[in-house]
Structure 1
Amino acid sequence: MYLHLIRSINDPEHPLSLEELNVVEQLRVNVVDHENSVSVAFTPTIPHCSMATLIGLSIKVKLLRSLPARFKVDVHITPGTHASENAVNKQLADKERVAAALENSHLLEVVNQCLSERL
């Protein structure tokens, strides 16, 4: 459930989607409708993936744009799959840092490219 919203997000470094790279999988998407929460754990392709924060930000933005405002969206790295897991998770959980990132026009452009439909 809800994987359909994020499966086609483009990887920022590869011409493949996050689902094609097994970065997002249905079993790591948890929805508790009566609690208004969606949690997504994503698995970067390598333990030192420099794009992990950008991937997480793209997932978070897609869900925030697609779901009703009542949902609390939690996006984090699958435990034990990235060298900087705690730092990335802290950034993605910080509303002010996410908002500041999206005010950066270059970063927003990259996120929008990740979210755009491939031809």
Structure 2
Amino acid sequence: MTLGLINANPIVHAKKERVVRADHQEYDDDAVDPLEIYDILLSIHTHLNSLVTESISVDDKLGLILITFTPTIQHCSMATVIGLCLRVKLMRYFPPLFKLDIKVSPGSHANEESVNKQLNDKERVASALENPNLRQLVDECIYSNEL
């Protein structure tokens, strides 16, 4: 058994002020706008030239953000990586109370069902992000255009 603090120098962040709406859900800001999401993902667009965002829809009451994207070719081997980049970028931006649903557009990929299943399974996403090589690829994709 250890005595003392496990992390002797923790990073302490200031608490954000939350706004309580009429439906009693707490959000950091006002309603989420699909254009705001598009702007967030724009850096990924420029880095991954193959990405075409087909639709972005937001349901504030359900806390759901739905992103549909189209890879440029039917057999794009990077479709799951692209979707993972989108998911990680939005997970880092929005509070965890939002559910992210990221899919390839219907008929746009040969393995559409498999790709959608991988992108929306929490355990598969967590497992993918534990892989250091894949994690580095995602981080480079997300942060390369922000520097």
TM-score, scaled relative to structure 2: 0.70
- Report runs of 4+ in structure 1 exceeding 6 Å deviation: none
Correspondent of 1:37 among 51, 64, 86:
64
Q: Which runs of 5+ in 2 are unaligned?
A: 1-33
Say if 2:53 and 2:69, in contact at 8 Å, map to a contact too. yes
Following superposition, the deviation at residue 76 of structure 1 comes to 0.6
Specify which structure has the higher proportion of helix: 1
Larger Rg: 2
1:53–1:21 distance in 2 versus 1, CA, 3 Å: closer
2:118 equivalent to 1:91: yes
Q: Which runs of 5+ in 1 are unaligned?
A: 11-15
- Residue 46 (structure 1) aligns with: 73
- Residue 13 (structure 1) aligns with: none
- Residue 82 (structure 2) aligns with: 55
CA distance in 2, matches of 1:100, 1:56: 15
CA distance in 1, matches of 2:133, 2:118: 18
SS at match of 1:58: helix
2:42 equivalent to 1:7: yes
Say if 2:69 and 2:104, in contact at 8 Å, map to a contact too. yes
Greater relative contact order (Cα 8 A, min sep 6): structure 1 or 2? 1
Q: Percent identity?
A: 48
TM-score, scaled relative to structure 1: 0.86
